[in-house]
Amino acid sequence: MKIDVLTLFPAMFSGPLDVSIVQRAREAGLVDLRVTDLRDFTHDRHKTVDDRPFGGGPGMVLKPEPIFEALEKLADEKTHVVLMAPAGRVFDQALARELAAKEHLLFISGSYEGVDERVREALVDDEISIGDYVLTNGGLPTMVVIVAVVRLLPGALGDEQSAHDESFSPGKPGLEYPHYTRPAEFRGMKVPEILLSGHHAEIEKWRAEQARKRTAERRPDLLRRDEENL
Ligand code: JF5
């Protein structure tokens, strides 16, 4: 898979994408990730990427020209162009799976008040939000989506972890059971007896029950959504 990012803040992207599973996936050649500075596609002395909104009002709007020129260089007909913005489809695991099936993703990491509407009309295939809160730019949302997508690429996870990927799929909608490791007693707090018993079938039953109870208590919305999908 190829992933392009178009951003005003390329420096934000070093760090999160250079560690852990994403870094391993890049080294293994599973994903080719490029971060491009939108200012590279300006032509004036001040590298102007934004301007005041027609009709007045607060804030600035990203100009169309640099974005159009960048996509003429970085994208083709097959590229799935994603604009990160609070008005988009809310990101979830199903959407991550959808994006993981694409050959080429290009993220436009918005900022200021937004982008000129003609970018949306002519270039954008998909608009994605990571939730209802306001950020200063689309850098972090872009990275959230990239990490969720890259770990789904075949070969990105070791065998041990890939078993875990069933979470948030139909039939396993929700939260994890409680985990414990050694010591069996820590500052007076004991690990549940069943986990020390060696009865694997009983342990499975206990864990499933714990996960169900925990999900019903904390995220009943996940159980309802799962019933709709089954
Ligand atoms: C952004 C204009 C984009 O703030 C976000 C965001 C919040 N949830 N999901 C995305 O994106 C950055 C800010 C202002 C466009």
Q: Which of 109, 112, 116, 137 has most ligand 1 atoms within 8 Å of CB, for mutation?
A: 137
Atom nearest to 138 CA in ligand 1: 12
Kindly give the distance from the C-alpha atom of residue 148 to the centroid of ligand 1, in angstroms, as a whole number. 18
141 close to ligand 1 (CB < 6 Angstrom) = yes
Q: CA torsion, points 72, 75, 78, 79, in degrees to nearest 10?
A: -130
139 close to ligand 1 (CB < 6 Angstrom) = no
Atom nearest to 139 CA in ligand 1: 12
Q: Looking at residue 10, what is its pLDDT?
A: 97
Q: What's 45's DSSP letter?
A: T
Per-residue pLDDT of the chain (230 residues), as tens digits, is 999 999 999 999 999 999 999 999 999 999 999 999 999 999 999 999 999 999 999 999 999 999 999 999 999 999 999 999 999 999 999 999 999 999 999 999 988 779 999 999 999 999 999 999 999 999 999 999 999 999 999 999 986 566 565 678 777 767 899 999 999 999 999 999 999 999 999 999 999 999 999 999 999 999 988 777 75
Kindly give the distance from the C-alpha atom of residue 201 to the centroid of ligand 1, in angstroms, as a whole number. 46
Atom nearest to 137 CA in ligand 1: 12
Residues whose CB falls within 8 Å of the CB of residue 147, separated by 6 or more in sequence, listed in order: 16, 17, 21, 22
* Cα 139 from Cα 200, distance rounded (Å): 44
Q: Which of 6, 135, 136 has most ligand 1 atoms within 8 Å of CB, for mutation?
A: 135
* Cα 59 from Cα 1, distance rounded (Å): 36
Kindly give the distance from the C-alpha atom of residue 113 to the centroid of ligand 1, in angstroms, as a whole number. 9
86 close to ligand 1 (CB < 6 Angstrom) = yes
Kindly give the distance from the C-alpha atom of residue 61 to the centroid of ligand 1, in angstroms, as a whole number. 13
Atom nearest to 131 CA in ligand 1: 8
The dihedrals phi and psi of 82, each to the nearest 5 degrees, come to -115, 125
How large is the greatest C-alpha to C-alpha distance in the chain, in angstroms? 71
Q: With left for phi above 0 and alpha for psi between -120 and 50, is residue 50 left, alpha or beta?
A: beta
Report residue 41 as tokens: 């596609």
Q: Looking at residue 112, what is its pLDDT?
A: 74
* Cα 89 from Cα 81, distance rounded (Å): 14
pTM of structure: 0.94
Q: Looking at residue 158, what is its pLDDT?
A: 82
